Structure 1
């Protein structure tokens, strides 16, 4: 492969990344390639600030623009490498804060985002970059992180990087004018950014959430107030079967007492006959979890189905199901290819969830063993196995690491271990169980390449070699990137 030029991305403790430039530039749906960010005339509230002219020299892993000021390296949102800008710099205690005032010289990588919430950053940190620039940024991240293991392949991109999320959640509250609002929390706060949709959400899901918000006043439904602990509706979660067209609406409430429930459901179904099930979920906790433990089906069967890699999956409100089904098929295809299945192998699907990747692997494996701690997910996996007529997969509730240690103690073998852990990655106990079991191949699917690199370092120290790394852009417009790697026993 040809060497890629570093386009000014910021290096941090671990080396980070840089991708190959695509030939055809892709811009936002409006087709505009450049735009200037909003001008801010005031320093942040409660702070004294000075205005400085700076030049952006790189990006942090969060997608913020990096610049030098009085011997300090600072970062600011919405600034791209090579751009010159005025920023407002203020001091609060030991911390120096920077806020973008205006861009003087814009980068060719800047686009006018199709999002109405361009400056609020409602879950999209890099939507001011062209998709080509986003791709370079993510490739750079992967290349730097994975440098100790070899050169990753070029990132697999998305043809239409908008409207891909099949699960949308909006939080409800009241503004200072006592008007009901819905939206997303501002980063690291409990302040709701009022939004009626997102460029990465399924449009129909956002439409349904806005319909619910509009109905609340006439049905005397109050949004929940976290400070007073009064009110009813906390969140609305909508799941969409992108292939089936089925839609689930989950009303997350602080109390099971839902006055006017039947009339509300009737009115919502009249506005959106495409809704196939409605669930009331009760969450009276004070933590950050969206869904509570108790729920009641108000309409429909309580689940939706969708098709992935030719298999049909039943999805509940709490099921882990990949957010971007289009890219998931590409990701799973790469994972199965790395597993090198011939029809005779025993495959362990660790962190199996509702069985998606294990059931996909079962089409080419001799036997699949799925292990998952969550009892509900295991029930879903068994149900999905039966739904698809899969005879060579078994699913067990328990700790996958302990399960593999017990297998090794009994002298049992596995040819391939596929793992898809949470963002925090795996722990040493689990990784050591892989080393004890000694599968020929390990396929590591990760939504956080930083923890993936950490875990692969352990496996490499203990007898494995990284043979291939394939990044996949599962989350366009955000800084997140998925990665799948193949490790083989030396």
Structure 2
């Protein structure tokens, strides 16, 4: 995989509600056991019988994915939705994946347990922590980062959200039929392409879900057929919606299997009448039988084909395929901390690796002497250049290419950079990129990560090659999920000071 971000949206391998960056991970619940104990709906849970046994266990701690760890017959098992200190009955499958058990009921509950507010929580898998209080979620993420970063210093207290719902400015719902041939829209169940019909996802922007419900209700009257993955027949596959949470602009993308859109004009008129807040509507054609949600072909049906939003005092143009942080409120906190760590005085030369559509590059340009953004994705580079012009930025330049190679070439020409900003995908960086930092020898490196595990691995390399970690700040970008971001400040050792 390239070191730069792959920004093409894909069907989740795990759930629909993970971090907005690659590598990406996907009928209402009919009731929950008393006391809010989750009722697992996985295939192993349904099989049961002689292939499984029931055991009484006590949870000792949580994994980094928020699952409870228990001991059983000398083995360590992971149990979703179980909290430390809780005693529970679990089903251990003799045939299932080694190391996993399924929660049947909690016998002794933790004070941190709450009733999950989402009726689809046990079926969906997109959120993993709704059974934990907000305070407990924050502490869990703090503990995760603290443990991973222990070799480098003590992280600052995590920056959480006051209202940890309704935050996703991008959502995508799959469209299909249920066994009664009714049109349904929803998210995929964990590790499957089985659609869970839902009217509302509590971490989506509420207006986005409302629009999806309207579209779903219009399909019958407009004879719009949902796509069937098994037969390859049908028209509408997904509805993707992006909301500018500052601008209020809304983009709706109909992802279809064919460019032939019967009744298109009447459909557009009806949808705009129902939702005049929609500012642009697109048709994306995806004929492929792959995990990619979006295809390469795109047609603007209404509006300019993009929306704008404001972040860090800058206005950004966002296209259907643009990578843009999905939680703007927390992104403001994250980027503010990153710029603070860069210690910019207006004279520095900054390299922004993995620069995407230029968000952090342009925000940094307000306090830097010059900024060079480097990004492998050509579409993202074009977006960054447009965003630079839109904001009247004169001291930022964007380059299409591999950031590691770019920095090696800078070093070979005797050029210097004072600061390197890096925001890699979940897989982190590789040794080729990290070695390019060692060659360029910037005074400071600010490492923004959506995966502290790979960040810790990369920090280990950098601290062996001339750098010291001075500060670490975790940020809860994805409440209700186990994901957590962290930004770290590194300095050349001869410049390293006390924390």
Give the TM-score, by structure 2 length: 0.89
User: Measured at CA, do residues 51 and 403 of structure 1 come closer, stay the same or move farther in structure 2, by a change above 3 Å?
Assistant: same
- Distance across 1 between alignment mates of 2:401 and 2:414: 20
Please name the residue that 2:16 is paired with.
Answer: none
- Distance across 2 between alignment mates of 1:401 and 1:96: 39
- Distance across 1 between alignment mates of 2:183 and 2:87: 40
- Distance across 2 between alignment mates of 1:269 and 1:248: 12
The superposition leaves residues 125-155 of structure 1 with CA deviations (integer Å, 9 ceiling, x where unpaired) of 1011001100111011101111111111111
Please name the residue that 1:309 is paired with.
Answer: 312
Please name the residue that 2:79 is paired with.
Answer: 76
Q: CA deviation at 1:97?
A: 4.7
Q: CA deviation at 1:38?
A: 4.7
The superposition leaves residues 444-488 of structure 1 with CA deviations (integer Å, 9 ceiling, x where unpaired) of 001111111111111111111111110000000000000100111
Please name the residue that 2:296 is paired with.
Answer: 293
Following superposition of structure 1 onto structure 2, how do residues 56-95 of structure 1 map, counting pairs within 5 Å? 56-92=59-95, 95=98
User: Measured at CA, do residues 279 and 454 of structure 1 come closer, stay the same or move farther in structure 2, by a change above 3 Å?
Assistant: same
- Distance across 1 between alignment mates of 2:44 and 2:96: 16
Question: Which one of 378, 382, 385 corresponds to residue 385 of structure 2?
Answer: 382
- Distance across 2 between alignment mates of 1:208 and 1:67: 43
Please name the residue that 1:406 is paired with.
Answer: 409
Is 2:271 the partner of 1:268?
Answer: yes
Q: Which structure 1 segments of 5+ residues have no match?
A: 1-33
Q: Retained in 2: the 8 A contact 1:445–1:484?
A: yes
User: Measured at CA, do residues 93 and 348 of structure 1 come closer, stay the same or move farther in structure 2, by a change above 3 Å?
Assistant: closer
Q: CA deviation at 1:90?
A: 2.1
- Distance across 2 between alignment mates of 1:343 and 1:337: 13
- Distance across 2 between alignment mates of 1:425 and 1:322: 17
User: Measured at CA, do residues 43 and 378 of structure 1 come closer, stay the same or move farther in structure 2, by a change above 3 Å?
Assistant: closer
Number of matched residues? 457
Q: Retained in 2: the 8 A contact 1:348–1:368?
A: yes
Q: SS at 1:170's partner residue?
A: strand
Following superposition of structure 1 onto structure 2, how do residues 8-19 of structure 1 map, counting pairs within 5 Å? none
- Distance across 2 between alignment mates of 1:322 and 1:93: 36
Is 2:339 the partner of 1:351?
Answer: no
Q: Retained in 2: the 8 A contact 1:36–1:106?
A: no
Is 2:373 the partner of 1:370?
Answer: yes
Please name the residue that 2:37 is paired with.
Answer: 37
Is 2:223 the partner of 1:220?
Answer: yes
Please name the residue that 1:188 is paired with.
Answer: 191
Question: Which one of 114, 123, 126 corresponds to residue 123 of structure 1?
Answer: 126
User: Measured at CA, do residues 445 and 40 of structure 1 come closer, stay the same or move farther in structure 2, by a change above 3 Å?
Assistant: closer
Is 2:190 the partner of 1:158?
Answer: no
Q: SS at 2:429's partner residue?
A: coil
Q: Which structure 2 segments of 5+ residues have no match?
A: 1-33, 494-499
Q: CA deviation at 1:45?
A: 2.9
Is 2:170 the partner of 1:167?
Answer: yes
- Distance across 2 between alignment mates of 1:55 and 1:397: 53
The superposition leaves residues 22-77 of structure 1 with CA deviations (integer Å, 9 ceiling, x where unpaired) of xxxxxxxxxxxx94225679972334232222221111221112212222111221
Give the TM-score, by structure 1 length: 0.91
Which segments of structure 1 move beyond 3 Å, counting only runs of 4 or more? 38-43, 93-97
Please name the residue that 2:448 is paired with.
Answer: 445
- Distance across 2 between alignment mates of 1:295 and 1:419: 31
Is 2:107 the partner of 1:104?
Answer: yes
- Distance across 2 between alignment mates of 1:97 and 1:142: 24
Q: Retained in 2: the 8 A contact 1:352–1:371?
A: yes
Question: Which one of 468, 476, 481 corresponds to residue 478 of structure 1?
Answer: 481
- Distance across 2 between alignment mates of 1:175 and 1:60: 35
- Distance across 2 between alignment mates of 1:276 and 1:406: 43
Question: Which one of 51, 55, 68 corresponds to residue 52 of structure 1?
Answer: 55
Is 2:217 the partner of 1:203?
Answer: no
- Distance across 2 between alignment mates of 1:333 and 1:424: 24
Please name the residue that 2:249 is paired with.
Answer: 246
Question: Which one of 252, 261, 265 corresponds to residue 258 of structure 1?
Answer: 261
- Distance across 1 between alignment mates of 2:96 and 2:435: 44
- Distance across 2 between alignment mates of 1:334 and 1:251: 37
Q: SS at 1:92's partner residue?
A: coil
Decide which moves more: 87-96 or 373-382: 87-96
- Distance across 1 between alignment mates of 2:420 and 2:161: 28
- Distance across 2 between alignment mates of 1:241 and 1:39: 36
- Distance across 1 between alignment mates of 2:238 and 2:40: 32
Q: Retained in 1: the 8 A contact 2:123–2:190?
A: no
User: Measured at CA, do residues 185 and 338 of structure 1 come closer, stay the same or move farther in structure 2, by a change above 3 Å?
Assistant: same
Alignment RMSD (CA, Å): 1.6
Q: Retained in 2: the 8 A contact 1:342–1:364?
A: yes
- Distance across 2 between alignment mates of 1:238 and 1:465: 42
- Distance across 2 between alignment mates of 1:38 and 1:266: 43
- Distance across 2 between alignment mates of 1:216 and 1:60: 43
The superposition leaves residues 336-395 of structure 1 with CA deviations (integer Å, 9 ceiling, x where unpaired) of 000000000000011100100000000000001111111111111111111111111111
- Distance across 2 between alignment mates of 1:389 and 1:463: 37
User: Measured at CA, do residues 351 and 38 of structure 1 come closer, stay the same or move farther in structure 2, by a change above 3 Å?
Assistant: closer
User: Measured at CA, do residues 160 and 96 of structure 1 come closer, stay the same or move farther in structure 2, by a change above 3 Å?
Assistant: closer
User: Measured at CA, do residues 279 and 43 of structure 1 come closer, stay the same or move farther in structure 2, by a change above 3 Å?
Assistant: closer
